[in-house]
Amino acid sequence: MTNSFSSRRMLAWTAPVALALTALAPALPAQAAPKPTPTVTTGPVDKDLNGDGVPDLVAVGGPGTGLGSGVWSGLGVKSRKTGVGTGQVQTPASNVGLRGNGVTGNDSPADFDGAQVITGRFTGVDHQDFLYYYPTGTSAGNGGVIRGAGDGTMANPYGNQFSIFSDNLIDANGNSPLQLVNAFQADGVDTGIPDLLGIAGDATNGYRLGYHPNYFAPGLYYGVTGLTNPTPTGGTDWQNWSLASTETASGIALFLRNAGTGDLYLWTGVTMVDNGDGTGTLTHTQYQVAASWNTGVTISTLQAADIDADGTPDLWTVLPDGTYRAYLISGLSNSGTATVTATRARPLA
């Protein structure tokens, strides 16, 4: 399933927030569009679940994660001296997924086993919500959004859940994403709800990035724009890369990690541009953050945020033994790697 960027831009000008599904088709022929300006968050801090101005860490539990089933929320710790995040979180973290995903009726944190969970303003309000997605398993390709309560927890999922259906996320070859991250409004179309960015493909047709636009409602993603970007090292092996995104005052940022080689890159100023032929391109500035970074290490959770509020995105990792660590990044350079300062590994729960 593909998507016309230009037709959605037209909808953004004319459609009310409650968009009728009949407005989705047919799309106008794709036309080249001028480079859009991404919508930059000027309000609450990205990944800040409880409104204290400091990003927080979210990790999924379950088999192989070192954490009990559910969704674990670790609230960021402020420095008493500077008032910004230190990379540490309050432990033990809280399991905010005890009521399940609001779909199975099991009221079980095991609903999230095997899921990916990201945060963002996915219901269009000014605090962080939780988006879960199943890349594999019986629910592969499906997911949903659960409202955040604004205090670091989830709202009761029953009555506060919005489903995401696999048919709306598959690419032209019927492939579901291997991973999804928050794309914010990188295409410059402000629907009030973030878009998604993913990696999808197969061995026959290859793998690529895909841009999933939101259509004015929580959980309503329709179609995908295939992106022509090569990997940070110039290849097409997107299946070997993982993503983590955040937004700072200067724009959208995307970390890209190749576990096999240890390559870690950062794209800043990310904007999605329509190519006018049914494809798109992410324009960006690329930095090599590190070489041989956690080479071969399995990372259960890779989360980006400007942890220490210095304007440069940082990373949190959670390993399969249930420990977390922050990597504070500074000194981005076009001629070498950045400075990466790791905090001490600590148990999350």
Q: Which residue has the higher pLDDT, 145 or 2?
A: 145
Residue 26 scores a pLDDT above 80? no
Could you tell me whether strands 279-290 and 314-318 are parallel, antiparallel, or unpaired per DSSP bridges? unpaired
* CA distances, 346 to each of 59, 74, 316 (Å): 14, 12, 12
- Would you place residue 209 in the very low, low, confident or very high pLDDT band (cuts 50, 70, 90)? very high
Query: What SS3 state is found at 160?
Result: coil
5 sits in which H/E element = helix 5-14
Q: Which residue has the higher pLDDT, 35 or 178?
A: 178
User: What's the whole-number average pLDDT of the chain?
Assistant: 90
Query: How does pLDDT run across 102-152, given as a tens digit for each residue?
Result: 999 999 999 999 999 999 999 999 899 999 999 999 999 999 999 999 999
Task: Say how far residue 292 (Cα) sits from the centre of its chain.
Answer: 24
Q: What pLDDT, on the 0 to 100 scale, is given for residue 179?
A: 98
Q: How much is the pTM?
A: 0.89
How far the first Cα of the chain sits from its last, in Å, is 40
Q: What pLDDT, on the 0 to 100 scale, is given for residue 44?
A: 75
Q: What pLDDT, on the 0 to 100 scale, is given for residue 16?
A: 37
203 is written with which tokens?
A: 């061995």
**Do 239 and 150 touch, CB atoms closer than 8 A?**
no
Residue 174 scores a pLDDT above 60? yes
- Would you place residue 67 in the very low, low, confident or very high pLDDT band (cuts 50, 70, 90)? very high
